[in-house]
Amino acid sequence: MIFDREVETLPRESLRELQLDRLRALVAVAKERVPLYGERLADVEPGDLSSIDDLRHLPFTRKDDLRAAYPFGMLAVPRSQLVRVHASSGTTGKLTVVGYTRADVELFARVNARCLAMAGAERGMMLHNAYGYGLFTGGLGIHYGGERLGMTVIPVSGGMTERQLMLIEDFRPEMITCTPSYALTLAQAFAARGVAPNEISLRYAVLGAEPWTDAMRDEIDAGLGVASSNIFGLSEVIGPGVSCECVEERAGSHVNEDHFLAEVVDPETGEPLPEGEDGVLVFTTLTKEALPLVRYWTGDISSLSSAPCACGRTLLRMARIKGRADDMLIIRGVNVYPTQVEAALLQLPELTPNYRILVARSGTLDEAEVEVEVSEVFLREAGTESLSGDLDHVRELRERAERRLQGSIGCSLAVSLRAPGTMPRSEGGKLQRVVDRRALR
Ligand code: DLL
């Protein structure tokens, strides 16, 4: 089902015209109402923008700009006009604060209704929403989207896994929304209870808020008996609802481009990159009232494609996020993203998606070790509980995993095999895949 059929299937030329009109209006409002933009856009007149490509001449906005204006200095409306505030925690210090007017909350609901529909939702279906409710945008963003679409939304929030299973078994929802790492936790908990995937009522899952791979998707789909779609978003731009995969192709997420203008730029030079090339995602909010952002530098690495899609939408698709520019490890000169490690490990059926990467520094070089749980089947077939490196089959698997990583990433990472159930699991939120010990030195 297409929620906003007309605009989601607009010919791309008409979409660009709509975007240009909205961009001009955005520049006018931002200059007038936000001191930072008053300065930075002083030389830009809305009428100077003759095509959407002129966007490339506008300055970027960065997370530090929002931090410097903490908490409400970037608002384009008086604080009293906000009906809601969300915030996201970064790795350091203060929160990034985002405000919503009544119209922004309606927009937030609408783009999430679109995303849920892209992923297979229909009016009347039941949605088990296990994203966290609170300052995090996931819970409330998806919640309003589900209601807007006409679903029955169960606001479970994250955590308390046993209760989640009970509610899913008793209420029989068709769709679940949560982080991919938590979907895996739930799948494993069902398996531990002896519930088979075809006994679980769920048919669709809408997963995001952290990087994941197609290999991880296969595990989740098999474990819960669902077709899962990737949903993307970030608090600064609105929260979830920026883009989502359609269930027809599940190959890249359609960006709600009439509201969020997407670019991919070179991380070093900031120059826009052609379709298909990896770079930093940059978003311009075209219709947001409270916190309009011009060319917001997300730090996320992806690429764009305007190839036609089986679902009929003309909205651009963005590739899975490889990682954040800040998550990129440089190991002996090679750039490595955690998702590449995940994809390589999951090519071996003896390994599971329960892994983490420990990074340390020796001298000026990053050293990384990958800890990964082996499967129950591997242990059972080996006939021993031990993962001692002295055992031939254990050493063989470890070396095979190291060769696989070397082959697909191009640098050597040490692998440590762990017993099933010993690695940290998602308790409901985002899972930290990289443990960085470099800062400790
Ligand atoms: O994570 C919003 C969200 C909620 C998205 C629920 C999807 C579902 P923040 O907490 O501000 O907002 O974190 C935003 O999370 O810049 C990416 O680095 C990462 N991220 C979000 N979705 C994905 C995804 C929410 N599908 C940051 N794949 C973003 C990879 C994602 N990374």
> pLDDT 10s digit of each residue in the chain, 441 long?
999 999 999 999 999 999 999 999 999 999 999 999 999 999 999 999 999 999 999 999 999 999 999 999 999 999 999 999 999 986 567 899 999 999 999 999 999 999 999 999 999 999 999 999 999 999 999 999 999 999 999 999 999 999 999 999 999 999 999 999 999 999 999 999 999 999 999 999 999 999 999 999 999 999 999 999 999 999 999 999 999 999 999 999 999 999 999 999 999 999 999 999 999 999 999 999 999 999 999 999 999 999 999 999 999 999 999 988 877 888 877 888 999 999 999 999 999 999 999 988 877 777 889 999 999 999 999 888 888 878 899 999 999 999 999 999 988 899 999 999 999 999 999 999 988 887 664
Whether ligand 1 lies within 6 angstroms of the CB of 112 is answered as no
Reference 98, options 285, 306, 230, 253; nearest CA is: 285
Place of tokens 């952290």: 210
Q: How crowded is residue 147: how many other Cβ atoms within 10 Å of its Cβ? A: 15
Task: Give, for ligand 1, the residue of 96, 182, 256, 321 to mutate: max count of ligand atoms closer than 8 Å to Cβ.
Answer: 321
pLDDT of residue 28: 98
- Report yes or no: 257 and 12 within 8 Å, Cβ to Cβ: no
Nearest residue CA, atom 10 of ligand 1?
88
Q: How far apart are CA 206 and CA 106, in angstroms?
A: 20
Query: Residue 88 Cα, ligand 1 centroid: separation in angstroms?
Result: 10
Reference 56, options 270, 316, 332; nearest CA is: 270
Nearest residue CA, atom 1 of ligand 1?
209
| Angle between helix 137-149 and helix 102-118 axes, rounded to 10 deg | 70
Nearest residue CA, atom 28 of ligand 1?
211
Could you tell me the residue ranges of all domains in the chain?
1-324, 329-436
pLDDT of residue 440: 62
The DSSP element (H or E) to which 343 belongs, if any, is helix 338-345
pLDDT of residue 333: 77
Q: Both tokens of residue 76?
A: 């384009």
Whether ligand 1 lies within 6 angstroms of the CB of 96 is answered as no
Q: Both tokens of residue 357?
A: 């990467």
pLDDT of residue 90: 67
Reference 33, options 102, 99, 109; nearest CA is: 99
Q: How crowded is residue 257: how many other Cβ atoms within 10 Å of its Cβ? A: 23
Q: How crowded is residue 363: how many other Cβ atoms within 10 Å of its Cβ? A: 5
Reference 118, options 139, 145, 153, 140; nearest CA is: 145
- Give the position, in ligand 1's atom list, of the atom nearest the Cα of 299: 16
DSSP conformational letter for 246: -
- Give the position, in ligand 1's atom list, of the atom nearest the Cα of 324: 18
Whether ligand 1 lies within 6 angstroms of the CB of 190 is answered as no
Place of tokens 């009906």: 83
Whether ligand 1 lies within 6 angstroms of the CB of 233 is answered as yes
Whether ligand 1 lies within 6 angstroms of the CB of 131 is answered as yes
pLDDT of residue 97: 96
Contacts of 252 (CB under 8 A, 6+ apart): 245, 305, 317, 318, 319, 320
Task: Give, for ligand 1, the residue of 182, 234, 324, 426 to mutate: max count of ligand atoms closer than 8 Å to Cβ.
Answer: 234
Query: Residue 233 Cα, ligand 1 centroid: separation in angstroms?
Result: 5
Q: How far apart are CA 181 and CA 430, in angstroms?
A: 7
Whether ligand 1 lies within 6 angstroms of the CB of 283 is answered as no
Nearest residue CA, atom 16 of ligand 1?
234
Which fold does the domain 1-324 belong to in CATH? Answer: Rossmann fold (3.40.50)
Whether ligand 1 lies within 6 angstroms of the CB of 180 is answered as no
- For domain 329-436, give the CATH number: 3.30.300.30
The DSSP element (H or E) to which 354 belongs, if any, is strand 351-362
**Computed from CA positions of residues 193, 195, 201, 202, in that sequence, does the dihedral angle turn out positive or negative?**
positive
* The residue type at 218: D
Report CA Rg, the chain. Answer: 22
